[in-house]
Amino acid sequence: MNDLLFPMHGKHVLITGATRGLGLRLAERLAEAGAVLLLHGRDPERLDAAADRIERERPGAEIHRFLADLSDLDQVAALAKSVADRAPRLDVLVNNAVVGGGSDTARREVSAQGHELRLAVNHLAPLLLARSLGRLLAASAPSRVVNVASLGQAPLDFDDVMLEREYEGVRAYCQSKLAMIMSTIDMAERFEPQGVSVNAIHPAHLMDTEIVRQSGFTPLAGVDEGAEPTLRLIGDPALQEVTGRYFEQSQPTKAHDQAYDPEARAQLAAVSERLIAPYAPGDG
Ligand SMILES: NC(=O)c1ccc[n+]([C@@H]2O[C@H](COP(=O)([O-])OP(=O)(O)OC[C@H]3O[C@@H](n4cnc5c(N)ncnc54)[C@H](OP(=O)(O)O)[C@@H]3O)[C@@H](O)[C@H]2O)c1
């Protein structure tokens, strides 16, 4: 039964990292509400398992499956192209996929392009995806980008953005999440004239999911605790005009100070644009 308090029937929603955790729960709830699901995963078996489960539990749900490893900007660009080719519209892009702090927090990992892995998956991939799907989002306006961030935020050191000198996994995660919030503010400005809102959210504290268990933290919340406020950002008509904000659950609030430093945002934008430019459409 659909218990969402707002209409999602027929809305096309792309959720990255929909194979488990928060992404899977959002997909289940949106399927109940009649949304058309564009489900993303990186592993074919896990993606099929998630999509098959939703189809079994919610007969009649319309689900389209998209495979891409977001640690490879070539695959991010291909994902955006595949969505634009196959979907007639896109009402909401939910950038949810994540690499957490990891079980060995001293082990620095890199993406296919050699970028620090957390920055690549948690910041560069969502940025490139939103930019590449900008036309489709604008054509579907009013539409939304929901960036699933975190209250775990750490300032970026622009002399060592890729953390080559002093690596620590949780710090890398927190920097990538602040980068995501900083780009949310810039992207909101860029997309506002086209009727596309862009907001970031900390869904809930220490939900019982893989990234939390893997990092050795004790879960303090169920996944539904994070799904509820995230679903509001995805669909609540009362939030349609709200853009460029960071929410802690349902509360619009202030992110780390660096997010509001225009110089820091310009520095981050310069680095990010340079890294995604070879993969981004010219008019995204
Ligand atoms: N859990 C919390 O307490 C908490 C707190 C604050 C914020 N958040 C945020 O909530 C969001 C969801 O997190 P979660 O806790 O639900 O995490 P999760 O259960 O670990 O799920 C992570 C998802 O991201 C996917 N993913 C990881 N690396 C990928 C890659 N390289 N390419 C494509 N997909 C990839 C995973 O795919 P596989 O299934 O293939 O691994 C999975 O679907 C994240 O943005 C996270 O930062 C969570």
> How confident is the model at residue 160, as a pLDDT?
97
> How confident is the model at residue 283, as a pLDDT?
52
pLDDT digit string, tens, across residues 16-48? 999 999 999 999 999 999 999 999 999 999 999
Beta bridge partners of 80: none
Nearest CA to ligand 1 atom 10: 148
Residues with CB under 6 A from ligand 1: 17, 19-23, 41-43, 46, 69-71, 96-99, 121, 148, 150, 202-204, 206-207, 209-212
> How confident is the model at residue 284, as a pLDDT?
43
Q: Is the pTM of this model over 0.95?
A: yes
> How confident is the model at residue 4, as a pLDDT?
74
How close is the Cα of 96 to the center of ligand 1, in Å? 6
pLDDT digit string, tens, across residues 99-143? 999 999 999 999 999 999 999 999 999 999 999 999 999 999 999
How close is the Cα of 193 to the center of ligand 1, in Å? 31
Kindly calculate the radius of gyration of the chain based on its CA atoms and give it in whole angstroms.
17
CATH number of 12-275: 3.40.50.720
How close is the Cα of 15 to the center of ligand 1, in Å? 11
Q: Over the chain (284 residues), what is each successive 10-residue block's mean pLDDT?
A: 77 98 98 97 98 96 98 98 98 98 94 98 98 98 98 98 95 98 98 98 97 93 98 96 98 98 98 97 64
Question: 3-state SS string over the chain?
Answer: CCCCCCCCCCCEEEECCCCCHHHHHHHHHHHHCCCEEEEEECCHHHHHHHHHHHHHHCCCCCEEEEECCCCCHHHHHHHHHHHHHHCCCCCEEEECCCCCCCCCCCCCCECCCCCEHHHHHHHHHHHHHHHHCHHHHHHCCCEEEEEECCCCCCCCCCCCCCCCCCCCHHHHHHHHHHHHHHHHHHHHHHHHHHCEEEEEEECCCCECCHHHHHCCCCCCECHHHHHHHHHHHHHCHHHCCCCCCEEECCEEECCCHHHHCHHHHHHHHHHHHHHHHHHCCCCC
> How confident is the model at residue 1, as a pLDDT?
45
> How confident is the model at residue 28, as a pLDDT?
97
> How confident is the model at residue 6, as a pLDDT?
83
Nearest CA to ligand 1 atom 36: 17
Closest to 145 in 3D by CA, of 185, 87, 85, 98? 185
Nearest CA to ligand 1 atom 43: 17
How close is the Cα of 117 to the center of ligand 1, in Å? 13
- Ligand 1 pocket: which of 209, 218, 220, 247 to mutate (most atoms <8 Å of CB)? 209
> How confident is the model at residue 282, as a pLDDT?
75
Which atom of ligand 1 lies nearest, measured to the CA of 17? 43
Closest to 193 in 3D by CA, of 152, 262, 141? 141
Residues 16 and 146 sit within 8 Å (Cβ to Cβ): no
> How confident is the model at residue 281, as a pLDDT?
87
Which atom of ligand 1 lies nearest, measured to the CA of 217? 3
Positive or negative torsion for Cα 83, 69, 162, 118: positive
